Structure 1
């Protein structure tokens, strides 16, 4: 059981040699740190907020692993405070250690400090052995907590590519994280961890909108020189080819659509590629790349899975897109109704994850009272027919029936309210219900 607020904030916060000054702010005048705490206990988050705010730093709170990964996909943090237990009654730390492993696999330089009770010292040791930078025992003294965070951040490993440290992204730069726990996306993460640190050419395929550019960026982030910029070239633009003349110094290039060049164009491209550089390609069809060019830019193929291949990830992605859209437009975090959540299991999203993000953002802007209803999502989502699982039906009658069913579920079979949501009169809805046998 997690301690109450009164036992988390110690009554006396004595300053030590590495502690902040008596007013709680760093003596060295360093810039404020951006800190994320991942803990499902609101009292813990509240107590941390008090200590971190007094020290002049900034705190975001995630109430569990899913929200934690979502926030990390939208923003970089100087430090992550990670609780090790989330499910009720669990004390083995398995959830937190699993998350720690994934966080460090995505970003080996992440500064992670685990939170544990006095009885969890063995878990803290295990976490340190797994790569955590430090640990905090509950209850803590605020001065010691802040000192631990600041010291841990200062110990952050320097970039491997010291010669180009000026090219390192700022802390506010968008991080590269692939969300979801499906087998399909975990396979992609595994491939990135295996191939990213090498100089092998990689071609990223899969449907447009499924995250091919994000996967390419993740490959570069896992490379030996992630702090150097990756130059993007659309090979369909003849004027962009001149930028290739600046290669030869171990740079990384993102080549878009080499498969759309004819054989002569691909041969010319191969002649301009420096053997000292690394190339990542995005293509619709890797088979259209000539064998000679493929040996240089497509040694390994990584296919971005479609949403149909990772359907279990759709609710996670939807909540992430909703959180991002809410922050962008200054809206409260919306809630999905049960009928809207039911669409995630059956709906086809044109333009894949990119289309899902657009549908969520539109629904957020058009919805009322911080609620996203099925009727706001479904116009962008033709519904998969129940008679043909895994295939998409564009039959208007089937789509209309599914829409009516969703609206009725949404409004607890109140026909008047369902008709209003669908933009129909009550009589018109009754006629359509009769036609579909509802």
Structure 2
């Protein structure tokens, strides 16, 4: 089916959005109907046949949690499962938008959008509708194309989807996660799937730079700027011009370094040490840290204005202990990799070895698993790896157990209970309200009260 023959419904309580979409699509499609009130969706679907629905994630009539959009997405899929749905969202709601893909949405578009991009998504949705295809079908493989990233777990599938959505943009990305989880691999994957893929990818471990080296390494210097400056040198930002710069361990830089970095990001210019001449730069910024975002929010440690600058979208990389489905997949991958490297027979993991791997907590994450398998391949006497062949590093230790403190405040207990039930039902308002024994309206009020 062509877009010209399509009938489209747009649901958004922002009249400016409805006007803009109507003006854009009126000459492009057979029929377009716009509606502010999502409560009209059942009636509209009953009286019309739509090929596609554009649905906002948030509605002002509720509490702008994004769950309203998920609720109406499910309702559309119940009433007209064959109708393609594209969610309208903002960068801050990308996690919810990704959840919508699992609930049956074809795709999502981020506000403010480029008209050409929106038309492309609509055309793609219409052309694939008859084949019952969706973006989720393209991202359920264990590996994201062109990278070494593997994962069948739900958490990794979420990350693969997010990479494919944010990579073609120039949004600044903050990658969060423990040491050894693969943050650099994610940064490389974003670059490889971006429009800058044929340009430089420059990594800088900024956490390891001293105060004296920070400016010289990042922004460059002129000959004679300091004792060992024997020639002019471009910094890493200049080297990444046109491409991507990846600042690893960004959470470990000092407030003074943060101030200098913020100035460069705001002005899109660098000034080499020993010079007064600004140099324009065009870079896509990716950052990573093992420092939790809650700690970065402490202004005694990290500037909030810099957090907002580097964190248009955040990607949280789960520890390996929360990716249990991926442990054996990764172990087999590393076993084959190192068997080839060390010219050993094609290896196998015994059932007992697999059980040992799955029961271990992996404080060193994927990196620790990789080293354990490499050692096993080198030292094992047989091609079948047994539990005794797999030894874990003594330098890693189990994460310290967090002290348990019983909560006795009634409001805090209610807030925690609502949060738990909402997570259990994946944000489904109807199911959550039913389990809590309250109405959906009452649940909306409590979500607003506790800012959940």
Interval containing the TM-score (normalised by the shorter chain): 0.3 to 0.5
What TM-score, normalized by structure 1, do the two folds share? Answer: 0.47
